[in-house]
């Protein structure tokens, strides 16, 4: 997979040389190219921003450097990339989107600073390319570089050959499959006792059926506690008889449409 990042802070992307993504690059699985947006400015001061039309605080990134930078990046490769624009006003970045992007051969990221990029840049390139405006969460960062690091890590670990064990992401929170849309429960390793705390007995029982059931119950418990919204929107067909019993113990009841809901605190009969 080829990844291009156009930024005014190339050094911010240094972490892409480290750990999982760094190893994927070294192994030739990822071809990462970082570009300095200021290389496409034409004035002495290498200006990339200007005041917003209509007034208001902050500065807006000028369209000309972005246009020329993207023209040059696009001309340097074969085919058409997906252009990923990090912005707090984008669609949410999810495991599903990470999976979808991991199947594309070429991604171009355009992290912005200031109040964002002049709208015409996205409109111009969306007329001929797949442009995705994406948010990594409901908070505002100072720029899109950290979101690029987040998205690249989520995407790169899904590429074939990047994780040592191909099964490593099978039970991830949000991974498609038996644990779809549930959070992962707790994990343990040796020693069996630490500071007087034991590893749950079932995990050393060697009984695969009981272990799978326990993990599933822990996932339901944790999801109920931290992300009840995920249980409420889950397709009820995903829950077996035992799941339903566990959910009932946690205060969940199927509603008229079959989906599970929970009475507000203190409202249970
Ligand atoms: N730029 C600033 N905040 C952001 C966010 N939450 N997601 C993506 N890009 C951003």
Q: What is the 3-state secondary structure (H, E, C) of 8-43?
A: CCHHHHHHHHCHHHHHHHHCCCCEEEEEEHHHHCCC
Cβ of 140 closer than 6 Å to ligand 1, yes or no, is yes
User: 77 in ligand 1 pocket by Cβ < 6 Å?
Assistant: no
* The two structure tokens encoding residue 219: 């996932």
**Which of 147, 150, 152, 154, when mutated, tests ligand 1's pocket best, judged by the most ligand atoms within 8 Å of its CB?**
147
* pLDDT surpasses 80 at 103: yes
pLDDT of residue 174: 80
Shortest-distance Cα residue to atom 10 of ligand 1:
87
pLDDT at residue 164 greater than cutoff 60: yes
At 180 the pLDDT is 74
* Kind and range of the H or E run holding 88: strand 82-92
Token pair recorded at residue 23? 């190893």
Banded model confidence at residue 132, pLDDT cuts 50, 70, 90: very high
Lowest mean pLDDT among 35-49, 81-95, 118-132, 162-176: 162-176
Interval 34-74: pLDDT, tens: 999 999 999 999 999 999 999 999 999 999 999 999 999 99
To the question of pTM greater than 0.85 for the whole model, the response is: yes
Q: Is the CB of 136 under 6 A from ligand 1?
A: yes
Rounded Cα gap, residues 5 and 193, in angstroms: 47
- The tens digit of pLDDT for each residue in 207-247 reads 999 999 999 999 999 999 999 999 999 999 999 999 999 99
CA 88 to chain centroid, in Å, comes to 13
pLDDT at 144: 98
Residue 165 has pLDDT above 70, yes or no: no
| Residue minimizing CA distance to atom 4 of ligand 1 | 88
Q: Determine the distance separating the centroid of ligand 1 and the alpha carbon of 143, expressed in angstroms.
A: 7
d(CA 122, CA 110): 10
Q: Whose CA is nearest to atom 6 of ligand 1?
A: 88
Q: What is the pLDDT of residue 160?
A: 95
Q: Which residues are catalytic?
A: 88, 115, 157, 172
Residue 266 pLDDT grade (very low, low, confident, very high; cuts 50, 70, 90): low
The pLDDT > 90 percentage for the chain reads 90
pLDDT value, residue 269? 52
Mean pLDDT of the chain: 95
- Ligand 1 in reach of 137 Cβ (< 6 A): yes
Q: What is the mean pLDDT of residues 112-136?
A: 97
Phi, psi angle pair for 174, to nearest 5°: 75, -5
């Amino acid at each position: 997979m080829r990844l291009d990042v156009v930024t005014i802070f190339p050094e911010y992307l240094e972490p892409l040389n480290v750990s999982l993504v760094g190893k994927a690059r070294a192994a030739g699985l990822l071809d990462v190219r970082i570009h300095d947006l200021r290389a496409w400015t034409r004035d002495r001061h290498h200006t990339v921003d200007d005041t917003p039309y209509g007034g208001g605080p902050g500065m807006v990134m000028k369209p000309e450097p972005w246009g020329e930078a993207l023209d040059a990046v696009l001309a340097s490769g074969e085919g058409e990339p997906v252009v990923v624009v990090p912005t707090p006003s984008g669609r949410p970045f999810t495991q599903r989107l990470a999976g979808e992007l991991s199947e594309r051969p070429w991604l171009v990221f355009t992290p912005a600073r200031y109040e964002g990029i002049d709208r015409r840049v996205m409109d111009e390139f969306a007329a001929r390319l797949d442009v995705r405006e994406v948010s990594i969460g409901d908070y505002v960062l100072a720029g899109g570089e950290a979101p690029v690091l987040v998205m690249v890590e989520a995407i790169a670990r899904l590429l074939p050959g990047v994780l040592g064990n191909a099964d490593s992401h099978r039970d991830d929170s949000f991974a498609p499959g038996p644990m779809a849309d549930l959070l992962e429960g707790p994990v343990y390793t040796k020693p069996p006792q630490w500071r007087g705390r034991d590893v749950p007995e079932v995990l050393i029982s060697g009984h695969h059926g009981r272990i799978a059931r326990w993990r599933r119950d822990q996932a339901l418990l944790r999801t109920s506690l931290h992300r009840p919204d995920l249980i409420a929107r889950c397709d009820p067909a995903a829950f077996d008889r035992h799941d339903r019993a566990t959910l009932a113990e946690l205060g969940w009841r199927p509603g008229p449409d079959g989906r599970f809901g929970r009475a507000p605190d203190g409202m249970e009969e």
